[in-house]
Amino acid sequence: MEEQQLIRLSKRMSKALRHDPARLGLTLDPAGWVPVADLLRALGVTRADLDEVVENNNKKRFAFDASGSRIRASQGHSVPVDLGLVPVPPPVVLYHGTVAAALESIKAEGLRPMNRHHVHLSATRDTAVAVGARRGKPVILVIQAARMAAEGHEFYISANGVWLTDHVPPGYLTG
């Protein structure tokens, strides 16, 4: 499959598995899983196409269960799901890529999940740069994650390595 086809299918899968499953007649279970057969039918693609997207998606957004018969998005849902994530100690700092237009709001309110379940953070500055660059010239914020955790904030890590937390108050941000 060509790269543009992979990207288009990945975006359709994101919409179906993270934001609007009902639009395609899908129902996610409470943990976000959907039978692979149902997704294939809804998207009109082959299992080989689906496997290629899961394997080659640069952000590893999707995962199969141990049996390979169910699939879900690893994080980023705007629909109710419980991914079963458990709190884990974060590194000393984490990063968030954004753009200058968002800074005033972030400085006032901190980082909020917006229409998602959690704020998404990166373990590396390079990843944050790539995330921020999707919307323009990136601005990288440094999150004092260990201090946040020591002061009672919980962190999670998704199956694809994205760090998640409920909110990052402004006092924990630099950059």
How many angstroms separate the CA atoms of 90 and 20, rounded?
31
User: What's the pLDDT at 135?
Assistant: 84
Residues of the chain with pLDDT > 70, as a percent, come to 100
User: What's the pLDDT at 141?
Assistant: 97
Region 97-104: mean pLDDT is: 93
User: Which comes out higher in pLDDT, residue 97 or 59?
Assistant: 97
Q: In this predicted model, what pLDDT tens digit does every residue of 3-57 receive, in sequence order?
A: 899 889 999 999 999 999 999 999 999 999 999 999 999 999 999 999 999 998 7
Cα atoms in the 13 Å half-sphere on the side-chain side of 15: 12
Q: In this predicted model, what pLDDT tens digit does every residue of 52-63 receive, in sequence order?
A: 999 987 778 899
Asked if pLDDT for residue 99 goes beyond 90, the answer is yes
Fold (CATH) for 94-174: ADP-ribosylation fold (3.20.170)
Pick the CATH number of 3-73 from 1.10.10.60, 3.50.50.60, 1.10.10.970, 3.40.190.10: 1.10.10.970
**Per-domain residue ranges of the chain:** 3-73, 94-174
Please identify which residue in the block is written with the tokens 């990207």.
Answer: 7
Q: Which residues contact 59 (CB under 8 A, 6 or more apart)?
A: 160
How many angstroms separate the CA atoms of 112 and 167, rounded?
5
How many angstroms separate the CA atoms of 159 and 74, rounded?
6
